[in-house]
Amino acid sequence: LYNYLVRRRAVREILPRRADGMTLEVGSGISPISPADDRTVFTELSFQALRTLKGAQGAGHYVVADATRLPFKPGAFRRAVCSEVLEHIEDDSKAIREMTHALEPGGSLVVTFPHRRDFFAVDDRFVGHHRRYDLIEMLDMLQTSGFRALAVTKVLGPLEKLTMGAAAAFLTQLFPSGGIGKNLVSRPLPPAALVKVFDLFNRLYAAIARLDARIWPTRLASVLLIKAEKQKTHGA
C-alpha cells in the first residue's frame, strides 16, 4: 500500500547508498525495507513469510528469528533496520536491546514506529498493535538501550491515520466475524486493468501522503523515523 511505499522511501533515503558491512532487517515480513543483496540479513518469526520473501527476492540472507532473541554474535552488523515492528512486540525494550547487542559500536539503527499514544484506534487494533509511541518515550527507550538519536524525520501525517482508520472500520464492518485475510485471499483475482488502475492510484496517494507529512508539525505525525547510533561506550 501507499504507506509502505512512503516508509520504504524514507528509510532508504537515510541509509547509505553504498553500504559497507552487514545490514540486519528485523521483522521484514514479506514487505522488506532494505535492498536485497549479499550484505543484508532479513529476519522474521514466520518461516512461511521468509520463504515467500526469498522466492520473490532471491538475493540476501534469511533467518527465522524472534526479535527478542536474535541469534547473532555481538557486533556482527554495521546497521539495523526495524520498521513498524516494535509496536507488535510485547517486550519491545528487549527487542531493542537485542539490536544493540547485534550492532558494532558506532553502528546505526533506523527505526520507524506509529506515533502518538492518543492516536490509538480501530486501525491499530485491526493490525495487532500493542501500542503507539510518543516521541519522547521512544527516544528514552533508545537511550536506555545504548543508542544516541541522530535524527528524527516525519514519515506520514494525519492523512494516513484517517485513511487507515476508515479502511479498518470498513473492513471490520464487512467481515464482522473475522477471517478477513481468508475471505480476501479466497476471492478471484481482479482484472489486470483494474490492478493497473489501483497501482497508479496507490502511487499517486503515496505522493500526497508524503506531502501531507511535510506540511504538518511533528507532533501530528502518524509515523516517525529515528536514526540512532550505538554509543561506543555501550558494551556488546
* Least-confidence region, from 144-153, 191-200, 224-233: 191-200
Cβ contact 101:74 at 8 Å? yes
Does the pTM exceed 0.95?
no
User: Which residue has better confidence, 194 or 106?
Assistant: 106
- pLDDT higher than 70, residue 189: no
**pLDDT of amino acid 172:** 84
Q: How far apart are CA 8 and CA 3, in angstroms?
A: 9
- pLDDT higher than 90, residue 194: no
Q: How far apart are CA 47 and CA 216, in angstroms?
A: 39
**C-alpha grid cell, residue 226:** 529515528
- pLDDT higher than 70, residue 180: no
Cα distances (angstroms) measured from residue 188 to each of 182, 192, 195: 12, 12, 13
Cβ burial, residue 35 (10 Å; 0-12/13-18/19+): middle
Q: How far apart are CA 178 and CA 171, in angstroms?
A: 9
- pLDDT higher than 80, residue 40: yes
Report angle CA 222, 226, 227 to the nearest 5 degrees: 155
Q: How far apart are CA 37 and CA 60, in angstroms?
A: 5
The percentage of residues in the chain with a pLDDT greater than 90, rounded to a whole number, is: 81
pLDDT band for position 233 (cuts 50, 70, 90): confident
**pLDDT of amino acid 178:** 61
**pLDDT of amino acid 195:** 84
Mean pLDDT of 60-64: 95
Q: What's the mean per-residue pLDDT of the chain? A: 91
Q: How far apart are CA 176 and CA 162, in angstroms?
A: 21
pLDDT band for position 174 (cuts 50, 70, 90): confident
**pLDDT of amino acid 54:** 94
Nearest to 234, CA basis, from 142, 150, 158: 142
Q: How far apart are CA 75 and CA 3, in angstroms?
A: 32
Mean pLDDT of 203-215: 96
Phi first, then psi, for residue 180 (nearest 5°) are -60, -50
pLDDT band for position 235 (cuts 50, 70, 90): low
Cβ burial, residue 206 (10 Å; 0-12/13-18/19+): buried
Nearest to 113, CA basis, from 94, 133, 89: 133
